[in-house]
Amino acid sequence: MVPTTYYLILSAVLFSIGALGVVFRRNVLIIFMCVEMMLNAVNLTFAALARHFLDLNGQIFVLMAMVVAAAEVAVGLAILMKVIRNKDTTNVQDINLLKG
Amino acid sequence: MVLFIIFSLIAVVAAIGVVVSRKPVYSALFLLVNFGTLAALYIMLEAQFLAAVQVIVYAGAIVVLFLFVVMLIGGGELTDIRDPNKTLAQRLNWARLVAIVLAGLLLGALAWGFITGSLNPLQGSEAAFDQGSGQAIGNVLYTDYLLPFELTSVLLLVGMIGAVVLARPPE
């Protein structure tokens, strides 16, 4: 049986990679993909701790997080497509209309 | 244990592939591999229902949505952090430095806890867990978590309406 800490470390590594991807990439689609990867890493943490404490509530939370992620991806990609079509760029630094 | 090492290595390599890929299509495909290995890890964590939902929802719907958008929008990623017009000090602005430092802190803290053995497993009750099957999750979902379940259906409806409204052609 694999110790729970291994799963937590793997989840932290995936989360860090996703976070660094959000900060370092400039294509909005890839940033969005890295956000989804971060959500997945947190789901993995919840599932690992659900098995660790033998509590089913962790898996229910993962289910809810997956539903929220699905809805967020649908609406977020629709918004992204509109913005990209409007500004004619996929560079996140060009979407700066609200910049002070 | 061997399976865990294999799947986690594939997941980490795919995650790095998502971040460093030149083209968004490659990133989406690496993301697909990442989600697939995470589904395998869910099965190893006795969360079979979650693994099935992961494959159906994440790998089967979200990545497909991403690929659709990449198809309609196109790539457009040639120069990134390797922009030759900026020096290294200019590329590492404060936000990126903070991200690197925080990621290092998280991994360092976990590595220290792992080495000193302070992250030790406890024990829970096996009865209610029931191997994470669909029946067990259904038992809890439709009794204790009925209200969140109904609210997720409303959330999905709202998401659908929002996506349809956003996708309408301009008047």
- Cβ burial of B71 (10 Å; 0-12, 13-18, 19+) is exposed
Residue B147 amino acid letter: L
Residue B148 has its nearest CB partner, among A8, A64, A91, at A64
A20's tokens = 């660094």
Q: Cβ of A16 under 8 Å from any chain B Cβ? A: yes
Which residues of chain B from 106 to 135 reach within 8 Å of chain A, CB to CB?
106-107, 110-111, 113-114, 119, 121-126, 128-130, 132
Chain A residues inside the 8 Å CB shell of B150: none
pLDDT tens figures, A7-65: 988 999 999 999 999 988 888 999 999 999 999 999 999 999 998 888 888 899 999 99
Q: CA torsion A38→A29→B158→A46, rounded to 10°?
A: -10
Confidence band for A87, pLDDT divided at 50, 70 and 90: confident
Q: Considering the entire predicted model, what is its pTM?
A: 0.86
Note down pLDDT in tens along chain B; length 171 residues: 888 999 999 999 999 999 998 888 999 999 999 999 999 999 998 889 999 999 999 999 999 999 999 888 876 655 555 555 556 666 677 778 888 888 888 888 888 877 776 665 554 445 445 666 778 888 888 888 899 999 999 999 999 999 999 888 877
Q: For residue A91, what are the β-bridge partners?
A: A27
**Residue A78: which H helix or E strand, with range?**
helix A57-87
ipTM of the complex: 0.91
Which residues of chain A from 35 to 74 reach within 8 Å of chain B, CB to CB?
36-37, 40, 43-44, 47-48, 50-57, 59-60, 62-64, 66-74
Chain B residues inside the 8 Å CB shell of A34: 18-19
What average pLDDT does this structure show over A67-91? 89
List of residues 6+ apart from B51 with CB closer than 8 A: B39, B40, B42, B43
B60's tokens = 């089967």
Domain boundaries, chain A: 26-89
Give the per-residue pLDDT at B124. Answer: 45
**Best mutation target, B22, B23, B29, B34, to test chain A (most A CBs within 10 A):** B34
What's CA B115's distance to the chain center, in Å? 27
